[in-house]
Amino acid sequence: MQYWLMKSEPDEVSIDDALAAPQQTVAWTGVRNYQARNFMRDAMRIGDGVLFYHSSCAEPGIAGLAEVASTPYPDPTQFDPASKYHDPKAKPEAPRWLLVDVRAVQKSPMIPLALLRTHAELAEMLILQKGSRLSITPVTPAQWNFITGHLMK
DNA sequence: GCCAACGTTGGC
DNA sequence: GCCAACGTTGGC
């Protein structure tokens, strides 16, 4: 069992959108960074815990809890010329981009980025490092426990 | 809208 | 393989 933080722009898919989706599950489309892709392809397992993070919005921060809900499979948007995530170099017989399904578990009290920064226990979180912009990052059990057990109370 | 930081591309 | 140019991310 591992833990992750996954960024989503709430204008595209918010925690509320995910909770309202069938099975409360959304396909994590649009990742176009190899490191983030590799986490989904190689490291994630069904049932892994996910911190659902809102980025590029008025109040960036952790907005809910979710879990990995599928094994990896090709991101269909890479083959869709109408999608902004279209990748002309991807072919169905050789997909470049894989994703997993994510099931929203619950909305949480909003935990703003600025608040995360105030806790020494979270100083090592990858998302808090200078220049970090990876959209999917691993979270340690200690960080997970601190956030879910302390900040979400 | 600004801009720092980072990733990717492509010429050489 | 180097690296400059360019595009993107994402907080502020």
pLDDT of residue A89: 87
Is residue A75 domain-resident? yes
Residue whose CA lies closest to nucleotide B4 C1': A131
Is residue A66 domain-resident? yes
Is residue A19 domain-resident? yes
Measured in angstroms, what separates residue A71's CA from nucleotide C11's C1'? 32
Task: Give the CATH number for residue A48.
Answer: 3.10.590.10
Domain count, chain A: 1
In sequence order, the 6+-apart residues with CB closer than 8 A to the CB of A46 are A67, A68, A69, A70, A71
| Nucleotide closest to A131 measured between CA and C1' | B5
In sequence order, the 6+-apart residues with CB closer than 8 A to the CB of A26 are A13, A17, A18, A101, A102, A104
Q: Is the pLDDT of residue A137 over 90?
A: yes
Query: pLDDT digit string (tens) for A9-24?
Result: 999 999 999 999 999 9
Is A103 near strand C, with its CB below 7 A from some atom of it? no
Is A135 near strand C, with its CB below 7 A from some atom of it? yes
The structure's pTM equals 0.95
Q: Would you place residue A126 in the very low, low, confident or very high pLDDT band (cuts 50, 70, 90)?
A: very high
* Domain membership of residue A30 as a residue range: 3-141
